[in-house]
Amino acid sequence: MESASFHHDHALLEWQIELGATEAISDVPVNRYDVPAVVEKPKVAETAAGGFVPMAKEDPVALAQQAASGANTLEELRSAMAAFEHCDLKKGARNLVFSDGIAGAPVMIIGNAPTRAEDQAGMPFVDKEGQLLDKMLGAIGMARAHAVAPVYITSILPWRPPQNRDPKPHEIAMMKPFLLRHIELAAPKVLVLAGNWACQALLEKRGVARLRGQWTQVAGLPALPMFHPSQLMRSPEYKRETWADLLSLKKRLQNG
Protein backbone atom coordinates (compact mmCIF):
# COMPACT_ATOMS: atom_id res chain seq x y z
CA MET A 1 0.00 0.00 0.00
CA GLU A 2 1.38 3.39 -0.97
CA SER A 3 2.05 5.74 1.92
CA ALA A 4 0.69 9.27 2.34
CA SER A 5 4.27 10.50 2.05
CA PHE A 6 4.46 9.15 -1.52
CA HIS A 7 1.36 11.09 -2.60
CA HIS A 8 2.61 14.22 -0.85
CA ASP A 9 6.02 14.00 -2.54
CA HIS A 10 4.42 13.22 -5.90
CA ALA A 11 2.16 16.28 -5.60
CA LEU A 12 5.16 18.48 -4.79
CA LEU A 13 7.04 17.14 -7.82
CA GLU A 14 4.07 17.80 -10.11
CA TRP A 15 3.84 21.34 -8.73
CA GLN A 16 7.51 21.99 -9.49
CA ILE A 17 7.11 20.63 -13.04
CA GLU A 18 4.10 22.90 -13.48
CA LEU A 19 6.30 25.85 -12.50
CA GLY A 20 8.80 24.87 -15.18
CA ALA A 21 11.41 22.84 -13.27
CA THR A 22 13.07 20.29 -15.55
CA GLU A 23 16.07 18.94 -13.61
CA ALA A 24 16.74 18.51 -9.91
CA ILE A 25 20.52 19.00 -9.83
CA SER A 26 23.42 19.81 -12.09
CA ASP A 27 25.92 17.21 -13.25
CA VAL A 28 28.72 19.07 -11.44
CA PRO A 29 28.79 21.12 -8.21
CA VAL A 30 28.79 24.91 -8.58
CA ASN A 31 30.93 27.04 -6.29
CA ARG A 32 28.98 30.27 -5.90
CA TYR A 33 31.90 31.86 -4.02
CA ASP A 34 34.55 31.08 -6.63
CA VAL A 35 36.65 34.08 -7.67
CA PRO A 36 37.95 34.14 -11.27
CA ALA A 37 41.70 33.75 -11.57
CA VAL A 38 41.94 36.65 -13.97
CA VAL A 39 39.83 39.80 -13.77
CA GLU A 40 39.60 41.54 -17.09
CA LYS A 41 40.50 45.21 -16.95
CA PRO A 42 37.90 47.60 -18.36
CA LYS A 43 38.75 49.00 -21.79
CA VAL A 44 39.15 52.76 -21.98
CA ALA A 45 39.48 55.32 -24.74
CA GLU A 46 41.49 58.54 -24.65
CA THR A 47 39.56 61.78 -25.00
CA ALA A 48 40.65 64.89 -26.90
CA ALA A 49 41.45 66.55 -23.58
CA GLY A 50 43.87 63.80 -22.66
CA GLY A 51 41.61 61.97 -20.21
CA PHE A 52 40.19 58.48 -20.40
CA VAL A 53 36.60 57.23 -20.49
CA PRO A 54 35.27 53.65 -20.48
CA MET A 55 34.71 52.24 -23.96
CA ALA A 56 31.14 51.24 -24.77
CA LYS A 57 30.71 47.47 -24.93
CA GLU A 58 29.40 45.90 -28.08
CA ASP A 59 25.78 44.83 -27.80
CA PRO A 60 25.71 41.12 -28.77
CA VAL A 61 21.96 41.20 -29.37
CA ALA A 62 22.31 44.09 -31.82
CA LEU A 63 25.18 42.28 -33.54
CA ALA A 64 23.05 39.13 -33.78
CA GLN A 65 20.19 41.12 -35.29
CA GLN A 66 22.55 42.59 -37.86
CA ALA A 67 24.03 39.20 -38.75
CA ALA A 68 20.63 37.49 -38.93
CA SER A 69 19.00 40.18 -41.06
CA GLY A 70 21.84 39.91 -43.59
CA ALA A 71 21.01 36.25 -44.29
CA ASN A 72 18.69 35.76 -47.25
CA THR A 73 18.71 31.95 -47.34
CA LEU A 74 18.84 29.21 -44.74
CA GLU A 75 22.36 28.33 -45.81
CA GLU A 76 23.45 31.94 -45.35
CA LEU A 77 21.78 31.96 -41.93
CA ARG A 78 23.64 28.82 -40.91
CA SER A 79 26.92 30.41 -42.01
CA ALA A 80 26.10 33.60 -40.09
CA MET A 81 25.41 31.60 -36.93
CA ALA A 82 28.61 29.61 -37.35
CA ALA A 83 30.59 32.86 -37.68
CA PHE A 84 28.98 34.50 -34.64
CA GLU A 85 31.64 34.69 -31.93
CA HIS A 86 29.78 36.47 -29.12
CA CYS A 87 28.04 33.48 -27.53
CA ASP A 88 30.31 31.56 -25.16
CA LEU A 89 28.32 28.36 -25.71
CA LYS A 90 30.08 27.99 -29.04
CA LYS A 91 33.42 27.50 -27.30
CA GLY A 92 32.33 24.34 -25.50
CA ALA A 93 30.14 22.82 -28.19
CA ARG A 94 31.25 20.14 -30.62
CA ASN A 95 28.85 20.97 -33.45
CA LEU A 96 26.38 23.65 -34.49
CA VAL A 97 22.86 22.21 -34.29
CA PHE A 98 20.91 23.92 -37.07
CA SER A 99 17.96 21.87 -38.34
CA ASP A 100 16.57 18.62 -39.67
CA GLY A 101 13.63 17.73 -41.87
CA ILE A 102 12.39 19.52 -44.99
CA ALA A 103 12.75 23.30 -45.27
CA GLY A 104 9.48 24.82 -46.41
CA ALA A 105 7.40 22.18 -44.61
CA PRO A 106 4.07 23.42 -43.23
CA VAL A 107 5.06 22.56 -39.64
CA MET A 108 8.17 23.89 -37.91
CA ILE A 109 8.97 22.29 -34.54
CA ILE A 110 11.17 24.32 -32.20
CA GLY A 111 12.75 22.41 -29.34
CA ASN A 112 14.82 23.28 -26.29
CA ALA A 113 18.59 23.73 -26.22
CA PRO A 114 20.67 20.90 -27.75
CA THR A 115 21.58 17.92 -25.60
CA ARG A 116 24.84 15.99 -25.57
CA ALA A 117 23.55 13.57 -28.21
CA GLU A 118 22.34 16.41 -30.43
CA ASP A 119 25.66 18.20 -30.06
CA GLN A 120 27.49 15.06 -31.15
CA ALA A 121 25.20 14.49 -34.13
CA GLY A 122 24.86 18.14 -35.13
CA MET A 123 21.10 17.61 -35.47
CA PRO A 124 18.07 18.32 -33.26
CA PHE A 125 15.92 15.59 -31.74
CA VAL A 126 18.10 12.51 -31.94
CA ASP A 127 18.52 9.51 -29.64
CA LYS A 128 15.47 8.30 -27.68
CA GLU A 129 13.84 11.74 -27.64
CA GLY A 130 14.02 11.91 -31.41
CA GLN A 131 12.64 8.39 -31.76
CA LEU A 132 9.66 9.33 -29.60
CA LEU A 133 9.09 12.50 -31.63
CA ASP A 134 9.13 10.47 -34.83
CA LYS A 135 6.50 8.10 -33.37
CA MET A 136 4.35 11.07 -32.33
CA LEU A 137 4.52 12.56 -35.82
CA GLY A 138 3.92 9.19 -37.45
CA ALA A 139 0.71 8.80 -35.43
CA ILE A 140 -0.79 11.75 -37.36
CA GLY A 141 0.74 10.82 -40.72
CA MET A 142 3.74 13.15 -40.63
CA ALA A 143 7.52 12.69 -40.65
CA ARG A 144 10.73 14.66 -41.02
CA ALA A 145 11.15 13.75 -44.67
CA HIS A 146 7.59 12.71 -45.52
CA ALA A 147 6.80 13.14 -49.21
CA VAL A 148 3.38 14.64 -48.53
CA ALA A 149 3.42 15.80 -44.89
CA PRO A 150 6.99 16.72 -43.93
CA VAL A 151 8.10 18.74 -40.90
CA TYR A 152 11.06 21.02 -40.25
CA ILE A 153 12.85 20.96 -36.90
CA THR A 154 15.22 23.28 -35.07
CA SER A 155 16.18 24.37 -31.53
CA ILE A 156 16.16 27.67 -29.65
CA LEU A 157 19.97 27.59 -29.44
CA PRO A 158 22.48 26.26 -31.96
CA TRP A 159 24.98 25.14 -29.31
CA ARG A 160 24.69 22.86 -26.31
CA PRO A 161 24.97 24.42 -22.83
CA PRO A 162 27.65 22.70 -20.69
CA GLN A 163 26.46 19.60 -18.81
CA ASN A 164 23.05 20.07 -20.46
CA ARG A 165 22.32 22.89 -18.02
CA ASP A 166 19.38 25.23 -18.59
CA PRO A 167 20.03 28.06 -21.06
CA LYS A 168 20.60 31.45 -19.47
CA PRO A 169 18.43 34.48 -20.29
CA HIS A 170 21.23 36.39 -22.01
CA GLU A 171 22.02 33.35 -24.18
CA ILE A 172 18.41 33.10 -25.30
CA ALA A 173 18.22 36.85 -25.97
CA MET A 174 21.48 36.79 -27.91
CA MET A 175 20.44 33.99 -30.24
CA LYS A 176 16.74 34.91 -30.58
CA PRO A 177 17.30 37.14 -33.65
CA PHE A 178 18.73 34.12 -35.46
CA LEU A 179 15.74 32.01 -34.40
CA LEU A 180 13.23 34.59 -35.61
CA ARG A 181 15.05 34.90 -38.93
CA HIS A 182 15.10 31.10 -39.14
CA ILE A 183 11.31 31.10 -38.87
CA GLU A 184 11.02 33.75 -41.58
CA LEU A 185 13.26 31.89 -44.01
CA ALA A 186 11.74 28.47 -43.33
CA ALA A 187 8.27 30.01 -43.88
CA PRO A 188 6.10 27.34 -42.18
CA LYS A 189 2.33 27.58 -41.81
CA VAL A 190 2.33 26.71 -38.10
CA LEU A 191 4.85 26.44 -35.27
CA VAL A 192 5.10 23.84 -32.51
CA LEU A 193 6.88 25.02 -29.36
CA ALA A 194 8.17 21.83 -27.77
CA GLY A 195 9.04 22.33 -24.14
CA ASN A 196 9.44 25.00 -21.48
CA TRP A 197 12.47 26.72 -22.98
CA ALA A 198 10.93 27.03 -26.44
CA CYS A 199 7.96 28.73 -24.75
CA GLN A 200 10.30 30.95 -22.74
CA ALA A 201 12.24 32.01 -25.82
CA LEU A 202 9.28 32.81 -28.05
CA LEU A 203 6.40 33.53 -25.65
CA GLU A 204 8.42 34.78 -22.67
CA LYS A 205 6.38 32.36 -20.56
CA ARG A 206 7.18 29.08 -18.86
CA GLY A 207 5.05 26.28 -17.49
CA VAL A 208 4.23 24.24 -20.58
CA ALA A 209 1.71 22.23 -18.56
CA ARG A 210 -0.43 25.40 -18.43
CA LEU A 211 0.37 26.63 -21.93
CA ARG A 212 -0.04 23.41 -23.91
CA GLY A 213 -3.08 22.93 -26.07
CA GLN A 214 -3.72 26.67 -26.44
CA TRP A 215 -3.04 28.14 -29.87
CA THR A 216 -1.22 31.46 -29.81
CA GLN A 217 0.80 33.66 -32.17
CA VAL A 218 4.57 33.79 -32.71
CA ALA A 219 6.18 35.86 -35.45
CA GLY A 220 2.76 36.28 -37.05
CA LEU A 221 2.15 32.53 -37.23
CA PRO A 222 -0.17 30.18 -35.33
CA ALA A 223 1.85 28.45 -32.60
CA LEU A 224 1.00 25.49 -30.38
CA PRO A 225 2.93 24.79 -27.15
CA MET A 226 3.39 21.09 -26.44
CA PHE A 227 5.29 18.88 -24.02
CA HIS A 228 8.83 18.09 -25.09
CA PRO A 229 9.45 14.38 -25.78
CA SER A 230 11.99 14.29 -22.94
CA GLN A 231 9.27 15.38 -20.52
CA LEU A 232 6.96 12.67 -21.83
CA MET A 233 9.68 10.11 -21.17
CA ARG A 234 9.90 11.30 -17.57
CA SER A 235 6.14 11.71 -17.12
CA PRO A 236 4.24 9.27 -19.38
CA GLU A 237 0.94 10.42 -17.85
CA TYR A 238 1.14 13.50 -20.10
CA LYS A 239 0.83 11.41 -23.25
CA ARG A 240 -2.97 11.76 -23.28
CA GLU A 241 -2.71 15.58 -23.40
CA THR A 242 -0.02 15.34 -26.06
CA TRP A 243 -2.21 13.11 -28.23
CA ALA A 244 -4.94 15.77 -28.01
CA ASP A 245 -2.40 18.40 -29.07
CA LEU A 246 -1.27 16.31 -32.03
CA LEU A 247 -4.87 15.94 -33.18
CA SER A 248 -5.33 19.70 -32.79
CA LEU A 249 -2.24 20.25 -34.94
CA LYS A 250 -3.53 17.88 -37.62
CA LYS A 251 -6.95 19.57 -37.65
CA ARG A 252 -5.35 23.03 -37.94
CA LEU A 253 -3.38 21.94 -40.99
CA GLN A 254 -6.43 20.33 -42.61
CA ASN A 255 -8.45 23.50 -42.13
CA GLY A 256 -5.69 25.63 -43.63
Q: What's the pLDDT at 175?
A: 97
Assign residue 122 the CATH number of its domain: 3.40.470.10
- On whether residue 19 sits in a domain, the answer given is no
- Strand-pair category, 190-194 with 107-111: parallel
Q: What's the pLDDT at 212?
A: 96
Q: How far apart are CA 135 and CA 143, in angstroms?
A: 9
Q: What's the pLDDT at 27?
A: 60
- On whether residue 28 sits in a domain, the answer given is no
Q: What's the pLDDT at 18?
A: 60
Low-confidence ranges of the chain (pLDDT < 50): 1-2
Q: What's the pLDDT at 12?
A: 72
- On whether residue 53 sits in a domain, the answer given is no
- On whether residue 20 sits in a domain, the answer given is no
Q: What's the pLDDT at 42?
A: 64
Q: Which domain holds residue 244?
A: 60-254
Q: What's the pLDDT at 173?
A: 97
- On whether residue 3 sits in a domain, the answer given is no
Of the candidates 107, 101, 252, 84, which has an alpha carbon nearest to the alpha carbon of residue 183?
Answer: 107
Q: What's the pLDDT at 1?
A: 46
Q: What's the pLDDT at 49?
A: 62
- On whether residue 149 sits in a domain, the answer given is yes
Q: What's the pLDDT at 195?
A: 96
Q: What's the pLDDT at 15?
A: 67
Beta carbons of 129 and 121 less than 8 angstroms apart: no
Answer positive or negative: Cα dihedral of 146, 202, 210, 19. Answer: positive
What is the H or E stretch that residue 109 is in? Answer: strand 107-111
Q: What's the pLDDT at 26?
A: 57
Q: How far apart are CA 156 and CA 76, in angstroms?
A: 18
- On whether residue 106 sits in a domain, the answer given is yes
Answer positive or negative: Cα dihedral of 112, 115, 120, 125. Answer: negative
Of the candidates 159, 186, 197, which has an alpha carbon nearest to the alpha carbon of residue 175?
Answer: 159
Answer positive or negative: Cα dihedral of 229, 234, 239, 242. Answer: negative
- On whether residue 76 sits in a domain, the answer given is yes
Q: What's the pLDDT at 254?
A: 92
Burial of 197 (0-12, 13-18, 19+ CB in 10 A): buried
Number of compact structural domains in the chain: 1
> Is the pTM for the entire model greater than 0.85?
no
